[in-house]
Amino acid sequence: MLRRRDLLLSALAAASLPALPVTARAQTPLTPLPPAGTPRLPPDFLWGASTSAYQIEGAVAEGGRKPSIWDVFSHTPGRIADGTNGDVACDHYNRYADDVALMGDLGLQAYRFSIAWPRVMPDGTGAVNAAGLDFYDRLVDALLARGIQPMACLYHWDLPQALQERGGWHNRDIADWFADYARASVRRLGDRVKPWAMLNEPSVHAIFGHGFGNHAPGLTGWDSYVKAQHHLNLAQGTGIAAVRAERSDLKLGTVLSLQPIFPSSQDAADITAAARFDACWNTINLDPLFHGRYPALFADDFAPLIKSGDMETIHAPVDFLGVNYYGPSYIKHDPAAFLAQASWGAVPADTPHTLLGWPISAQGMVDVLTRLRDDYGNPPVFITENGACYEDPAPVDGVVQDPERTEYFRAHLVAAGEAIAQGCALKGYYAWSLLDNFEWAEGERRRFGMVRVDFATQQRTPKQSGLYLSQLMKAHGSGKAP
């Protein structure tokens, strides 16, 4: 392990800001960034990185953990593009100490991780598994020892399979099950972990996991999506209430995937489809959380599920909002699509995109943040995920040259500075992701890390993008608590 850290430290020492704009792969050593391209952010801006439990921990049967819906889904033939699963992933459960040392060497000020419900309550409800919480104790203590602020996300899609067998997100009781789990986690860790996010991307989990079926638990259809989405919103509210009652010294929020939605053409049908998709992806979470109501477009669809007090519970004040931003979507009318007769359509010619075909627009991040400023009360915001997938080359002299990802980070951090200059309450940025990891239905083949993981050997190798972020973090001074 020492050798690996030497590699990183020597790479950090040798690295200077990369040459930009980057188009061809940079085979030469990094060269200083032109000042004009350097992100300018406030000295108290918080710099971090994000991961999630199922994507990095592995050790799926260690420490009392029982299966989650993603264990079942990833072991179902044909569900994962490269046939991999999260059984080992980055083996972070066993390698957390080295990974925290890596974070410290990079100069991370904060780290957003998720807690695995199946470790804390392996049966979903009832007995708390002390050994499961012991792991997060160790992780949090290691982070604090390196001066890295932990942010815990309580639910990043890995529902205990035992709860799926009781209806999962289609069962309204899950709001109380989640509150119990949240309470147990905060009781153990709340003395040291202050920012807590309830959920990760509820609309994505509802759409992909309960509508398209290409994510766990693999359910499909509009009614399935609507039911899951309402109960996710409700659980977010019951979770906040339970945790607020547990401790008064925490910062509570949630994490939403937000993106600008454009019609693929100026045809009326595409414009309508884009508005419907915006409601299903963005405002289906924003409007209940900040306004206590569902978007008018779908109020009738959700009405039958709403019981007295639900919207008040969901409309719980938050101390911060986590925003996962990757890029815009271009949407067309699609009569066959389960989701509001809308699906992804043509993208303007020459739109830059990542290996996954996701359009790239740093301006889109400014647009998302100014929408929160103008329409949702300008809440304190952290970008809790932002990153890009590219085909990375093999390491050269102990560093992976990933100029496209470096440019992606640079452009979005310049946009972050622009959003702050326009009055958005942006307080920090967590890059997705610290490590290459299990990228859900794509498996291990699709890489987002600022640090490369060789899944055969578990070797961590810094990438140019991680060294670039490291230079920026160290140049911007220390972040403050959220």
We find the least distance from the C-beta atom of residue 429 to ligand GCO, in angstroms, to be: 15
For 69-138, the DSSP string reads HHHHHHTSTTSSTTS--TTTTT-HHHHHHHHHHHHHHHT-SEEEEE--HHHHSTTSSSS--HHHHHHHHH
263 Cβ partners below 8 Å, 6+ apart? 270, 271, 273, 274, 330, 331, 332, 345
Residue 81 touching ligand GCO (CB under 6 A): no
We find the least distance from the C-beta atom of residue 77 to ligand GCO, in angstroms, to be: 22
Residue with tokens 């069962």: 171
Quick note: the x/- pattern for ligand GCO over 401-430, rule CB under 6 A, is ------------------------------
Instruction: Look up 62 and say whether it is catalytic.
Output: no
- Rounded to the nearest 10 degrees, how much is the dihedral formed by the CA atoms of 4, 6, 10, 15? 40
Residue 70 touching ligand GCO (CB under 6 A): no
Q: What is the DSSP letter of 266?
A: S
d(CA 138, CA 115): 13
Number of Cβ within 10 Å of residue 220's Cβ equals 14
| Stretch of 125-133, 200-208, 304-312, 401-409 contacting ligand GCO, by CB under 6 A | 200-208
Closest residue to ligand GCO using C-beta atoms: 324
We find the least distance from the C-beta atom of residue 440 to ligand GCO, in angstroms, to be: 6
By C-beta, is 157 or 290 nearer to ligand GCO? Answer: 157
Residue 114 touching ligand GCO (CB under 6 A): no
Both tokens assigned to 82: 């490269």
Phi-psi region of 292 (alpha: psi -120 to 50; beta: other; left: phi over 0): left
**254-273 residues near ligand GCO, rule: CB under 6 A:** 257
Residue 73 touching ligand GCO (CB under 6 A): no
Instruction: Look up 385 and say whether it is catalytic.
Output: yes
Distances (CA, A) of 88 to 53, 85, 106, 449, 456: 11, 8, 24, 17, 10
205 Cβ partners below 8 Å, 6+ apart? 157, 169, 199, 215, 228, 232
# of chain residues touching ligand GCO (CB under 6 A):
11
Residue 436 touching ligand GCO (CB under 6 A): no
Selected from 287, 392, 404, 439, the binder of ligand GCO by CB under 6 A is 439
Residue 324 touching ligand GCO (CB under 6 A): yes
d(CA 264, CA 294): 25
By C-beta, is 51 or 461 nearer to ligand GCO? Answer: 51
By C-beta, is 20 or 116 nearer to ligand GCO? Answer: 116
Selected from 158, 201, 287, 418, the binder of ligand GCO by CB under 6 A is 201
* Catalytic residue chosen out of the listed positions 385, 404, 407, 418: 385
In 3-state terms, what secondary structure has residue 274? helix
Q: What is the DSSP letter of 153?
A: E
389 and 401 Cβ atoms separated by less than 8 Å: no
42 and 416 Cβ atoms separated by less than 8 Å: no
Selected from 164, 200, 254, 361, the binder of ligand GCO by CB under 6 A is 200
Residue 338 touching ligand GCO (CB under 6 A): no
We find the least distance from the C-beta atom of residue 445 to ligand GCO, in angstroms, to be: 13
Residue 432 touching ligand GCO (CB under 6 A): yes
Residue 448 touching ligand GCO (CB under 6 A): yes
* Catalytic residue chosen out of the listed positions 57, 62, 165, 201: 201
By C-beta, is 33 or 108 nearer to ligand GCO? Answer: 108
Count each helix (H run) and each strand (E run) in the chain, helices first: 17, 13
Residue 52 touching ligand GCO (CB under 6 A): yes
Residue 57 touching ligand GCO (CB under 6 A): no
79 and 441 Cβ atoms separated by less than 8 Å: yes
Active-site residue set: 201, 385
Instruction: Report the interface residues with ligand GCO, using CB under 6 A.
Output: 52, 55, 200-201, 204, 257, 324, 385, 432, 439, 448
